[in-house]
Chain A
Amino acid sequence: MTLPAILPARGGIAARAIDWMMRHPAMFTFLMVLPIVLWLGIVYIGSLIALLMQSFFSIDEFSGVVKQEFTLSTYAELLRPANFDIILRTILMAASVTLASAAIAFPIAYFAARYAKGKWKALFYIGVMLPLWSSYLVKVYAWKLVLAKEGILTWVFEKLHLTWLLDGLLALPVVGGNSLSVSYLGTFIVFVYIWLPYMIIPVQAALERVPGAMMEAASDLGANPGQSFRMVLFPLALPGVIAGSIFTFSLTLGDYIIPQIIGSGRLFIGQAVYVQQGTAGNIPLAAAFTVVPIVIMGVYLWGARKMGAFDAL
C-alpha cells in the first residue's frame, strides 16, 4: 500500500491557520514581526519622539505651565553656566571612567584570552559574569561599605601604614572630600567598577582572535615586548576597546543613581534630568538634557563604526 503523495489537510482551526501561514511566507513574516513593531516601533519610539518634541517647547517662568509652541530657548538654557557645568562634568567623568576601565580591563582580558586555561578560564569567566549580572544596587551598596570612613578601605590603608596617602588623596582639591564616599574620586571608582565587565568582554573577544603565532612572529622579528604590544597587539585589540568604550561612556552619561549615593552632591546629567522632570516640573528642560547624551552617543557610535568596533561585539 502506498501513501498519497500529498497528505490531507489537518482539522482544527489552529493547525489550519498555521498550515495557511506556512504556505504564505510573507504573511508569516508579517504576523511574526507585527507585535514587536506595534510595541517597540509605535509605543516605545512614539514615547521617545513625544519626549524629544517637548524639548522644543518652553516653560512659562511665572505660571510653570508648558507653552506648546516651537522655540529653541530651552536649548539655550543648557548653555547657562550652571547647566553647562553639569554637561561638562558628566562628559569629563565618562571619559576618565572609560580610560580607566580600558587600562584595568586590558590585562584581565589578555590574561584570560591568552594564558588562562581550564580552572583559571572558568574562574575568569565567573569573575566577569558575576559582577556583570549581580544586582546593580547591591554593587553600589557594597561600595558604600567599602568606601565609608569607618569601612574596609580605610582599615587596609591603616594596616599598610599608608593612611597618609589616603589623606593626601582626599585633601586634593575638587576630586577629594571628607571621605571617599562623598568625593568625585569615590564616584569615579564606583563607575569604573560597575561598568568594567562591559569593557572586559569585547576586549577579550577581540584578543581571542589574535593568533598566538602572530605575537611569536613579532618577537622573532626582533620586537621587544613593548614594541609588539604597541605595534601588533594594541592595534588588533583597538576595535574591542572602542566597542567596550561605547558601553562605559554611554552608561556613565546616563546614570543618575551612583553620583546620588556616592558623590559630592554636585549634579550629573542623569540627576539633572531627574530633578527637572520631578521636583522642578520642567519637562522641556529635562527633555533637552536627555538630548545631550543621545547626540553625544550618536556622534560616538558613528565614529566607532568607522573604526570597525561593531565587528568586535
Chain B
Amino acid sequence: MHSDTRAPLPLKIAAIGGLVFLLAPIALIFVYAFTTEEKSFQWPPPGLTLKWFGVTMGRADVWAALALSVKVAAISTCIALVLGTMTAAAVARSRFFGRETISLLVILPIALPGIITGISLRSAFSLLDIPFSTWTIVLGHATFCIVVVYNNAVARFRRTSGALIEAAMDLGADGLQTFRLVILPNIGTALLAGGMLAFALSFDEVIVTTFTAGNQSTLPIWMLEELIRPRQRPVTNVVAMLVVLVTVFPILAAYWLTKEGEHTEGAEK
C-alpha cells in the first residue's frame, strides 16, 4: 500500500510521537548507566561518571547470573534448533494425521500466559520429585523456544522447492549428502535467524524461570530481585544497559539476515 501523497500533519505527529514513546524509555537506560546519583532516580542526573562500570565488573553475583543465562540460552537454543527443524520438515513436507494439531501444539507454550506454563511445569516437577537445577530451567526455556525456530524453518521449507531435493537424490546424493549440500544451505539463514531469536527469548525470560529455577539466578531473575528489593541501584542501571546491548545485536542481525526473505520472525514473541 503505497501512494505518493504526503501524510496529513496530524497523522505524522501521532506516528512520530508514537515512535518517541516506543524508543525514549530505552534511550533513558543509557543515560542512567552513567549517573552519579546513587539513592534515587533523580532527573536530570546531577553528574556523569564511569565509576559504576568498574564496580559492576567486580561483582561476582552479576557474573554468575550472566554465565548461567548464557549457558541456559545456549542449550535451549540447540534443543530448539533440532526439534524445531525436525518438526518443520515434517509439517512442511507431508500431510499426515494430526498435522494441524502439531502446529497448534508448538504455538501453545507461547500463546498461553507464561505463568500457566511456569506453574504447570513446577507442579509437574514436584509431582515427579525432580529437584530444581539448570536442567529444569532449560526444559522450560526450550519448550517456548521451539516455536520461533519452527516458525522460521517452516516458512523457508515451504518456499524451498521439493523438486530441488528430488533432483539431488536423482543425481545420486544419498540422504545425508542431500541434507548437508542442498537442504542445509537453503534453510541456513532461516535457522540462524530463528536460533538468534530463540537465544534472545531465553536470555530474557523471567516468568517461567521464576517457577523452574530453585535457588539459581539467571540474569533476569537477578534483575527482578533488584527491582523488588534494590540493593545497589547504579549497578542495576549498568546491567540494564548491558542487557539492552546484548539483546539489540541479535535483533539487528536477524533483521539483516531475513530482510531479503519474508518477515515471519518477530511477528509473535
Q: Name A residues whose Cβ lies closer than 8 Å to a Cβ of B.
A: 7, 10, 14-15, 18-19, 21-22, 25-26, 28-29, 32-33, 35-37, 39-41, 43-48, 50-51, 54, 104-105, 107-108, 110-115, 117, 123-146, 148, 150-152, 154-155, 193, 196-198, 201-202, 205, 207-212, 215-216, 225, 247, 250-251, 253-257, 260-261, 270, 273-274, 277, 283, 286-287, 290, 293-294, 297, 313
User: Are A257 and B224 in contact, with the CB atoms below 8 A?
Assistant: yes
In the complex, B187 has a CB within 8 A of chain A = no
User: Are B15 and A111 in contact, with the CB atoms below 8 A?
Assistant: yes
User: Are B22 and A197 in contact, with the CB atoms below 8 A?
Assistant: yes
Task: Give min CB distance, A112 to chain B, whole Å.
Answer: 7
Cβ of B124: which chain A residues have Cβ within 8 Å of it? 43, 46-47, 50-51
CA distance A202 to B267 in the complex (A): 8
The 6 closest A-B pairs by CB, nearest first: A254-B113, A18-B175, A111-B15, A212-B3, A107-B14, A47-B124
Q: Which of B2, B87, B115 contacts A212 (CB 8 A)?
A: B2
Q: Which of A10, A140, A277 contacts B119 (CB 8 A)?
A: A277
Q: Name B residues whose Cβ lies closer than 8 Å to a Cβ of A.
A: 1-3, 6-8, 11-12, 14-15, 18-19, 21-23, 25-26, 28-29, 32, 40-44, 82-83, 86-87, 89-91, 93-94, 96, 102, 105-106, 108-109, 111-117, 119-124, 127, 139, 142-143, 146, 169, 172, 174-176, 179, 197, 200, 203-204, 206-207, 220, 223-224, 227-228, 236, 240, 243-244, 247-248, 250-252, 255, 266-269
Task: Give min CB distance, A245 to chain B, whole Å.
Answer: 14
Cβ of A47: which chain B residues have Cβ within 8 Å of it? 120-121, 123-124
User: Are A129 and B255 in contact, with the CB atoms below 8 A?
Assistant: yes
Contacts A7-B172, A40-B108, A48-B112 known; 5 new A-B pairs at CB < 8 A: A51-B123, A141-B223, A144-B41, A151-B43, A257-B224
Cβ of B127: which chain A residues have Cβ within 8 Å of it? 50
Cβ of A151: which chain B residues have Cβ within 8 Å of it? 41-43
CA distance A141 to B115 in the complex (A): 20
Cβ of A134: which chain B residues have Cβ within 8 Å of it? 26, 244, 247-248
Which residue of B has the minimal Cβ distance to A54? B123
Chain B CB within 10 Å, residue with most, of A108, A137, A146, A154 = A137
CA distance A90 to B124 in the complex (A): 27
User: Are B3 and A19 in contact, with the CB atoms below 8 A?
Assistant: no
23 CB contacts below 8 A, A to B, read: A15-B175, A29-B90, A36-B86, A40-B143, A43-B139, A48-B112, A50-B123, A108-B19, A115-B6, A126-B255, A129-B251, A133-B269, A135-B240, A141-B223, A145-B32, A150-B40, A196-B18, A196-B21, A198-B268, A255-B113, A277-B123, A290-B115, A294-B116
CB contact under 8 A between A132 and B3, given known A15-B174, A124-B19, A150-B42: no
Q: Which of A15, A277, A297 contacts B176 (CB 8 A)?
A: A15
Cβ of A54: which chain B residues have Cβ within 8 Å of it? 123
Secondary structure at the A interface, as helix, strand, loop or mixed, is helix
User: Are A261 and B240 in contact, with the CB atoms below 8 A?
Assistant: no
User: Are B29 and A142 in contact, with the CB atoms below 8 A?
Assistant: yes
Cβ of A202: which chain B residues have Cβ within 8 Å of it? 267
User: Are A256 and B123 in contact, with the CB atoms below 8 A?
Assistant: no
Which residue of B has the minimal Cβ distance to A23? B175
Cβ of A133: which chain B residues have Cβ within 8 Å of it? 197, 200, 247-248, 250-251, 266, 269
User: Are A152 and B108 in contact, with the CB atoms below 8 A?
Assistant: no
CB contact under 8 A between A254 and B3, given known A40-B146, A110-B15: no
User: Are A198 and B269 in contact, with the CB atoms below 8 A?
Assistant: yes
User: Are B268 and A104 in contact, with the CB atoms below 8 A?
Assistant: no
User: Are B15 and A18 in contact, with the CB atoms below 8 A?
Assistant: no
User: Are A21 and B269 in contact, with the CB atoms below 8 A?
Assistant: no
User: Are B26 and A254 in contact, with the CB atoms below 8 A?
Assistant: no
User: Are A33 and B2 in contact, with the CB atoms below 8 A?
Assistant: no
Cβ of B14: which chain A residues have Cβ within 8 Å of it? 107-108, 111
CB contact under 8 A between A35 and B83, given known A208-B1, A261-B228: yes
User: Are A22 and B175 in contact, with the CB atoms below 8 A?
Assistant: yes
